[in-house]
């Protein structure tokens, strides 16, 4: 699986678990740290945990495991690092405070709703 495919898979899984504002950020031109950020908001601490657990469990079925995890202690910003893709799940106020979309504003940004619409238009 390529890093782009992994980012899309993570975004789709987060969407399936009712994640809010699912966003893929292509940062390959900006840094060597990772290829993509996938950002999503959960509506509560329980929702943040449910999204993270679901994504991790579904990817493990395909033999994909995170290299690093952090934030499970407080569940306001959980990070699952898959090396080429870093998955961030926030509570809305925490996402607003850290504003990764603004910090990495030069990234190519795709919101899942738009991406799904583009894909449907292409298939027709």
Instruction: Give the pLDDT of the chain (124 residues) as one tens digit per residue.
Output: 899 999 999 999 999 999 999 999 999 999 999 999 999 999 999 999 999 999 999 999 999 999 999 999 999 999 999 999 999 999 999 999 999 999 999 999 999 875 554 443 333 3
Give the whole-angstrom CA distance, residue 41 versus residue 19: 6
Q: 78 and 17 in contact (C-beta within 8 Å)?
A: no
The ranges assigned to domains in the chain are: 3-123
Topology (CATH level 3) of domain 3-123: Beta Polymerase; domain 2 (3.30.460)
pTM (2 decimals)?
0.87
């Amino acid at each position: 699986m390529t890093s782009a495919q992994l980012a899309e898979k993570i975004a789709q899984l987060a969407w399936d678990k009712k994640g809010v504002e699912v966003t893929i950020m292509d940062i390959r031109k900006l840094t060597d740290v990772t290829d993509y950020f996938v950002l999503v908001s959960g509506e509560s601490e329980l929702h943040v945990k449910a999204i993270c657990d679901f994504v991790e469990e579904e990817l493990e079925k395909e033999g994909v495991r995170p290299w690093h995890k952090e934030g499970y202690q407080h569940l306001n910003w959980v990070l699952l690092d898959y090396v080429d893709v870093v998955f961030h799940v926030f509570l809305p106020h925490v996402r607003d405070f850290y504003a990764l979309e603004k910090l990495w504003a030069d990234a190519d940004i795709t919101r899942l709703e738009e991406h799904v619409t583009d894909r449907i238009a292409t298939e027709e």
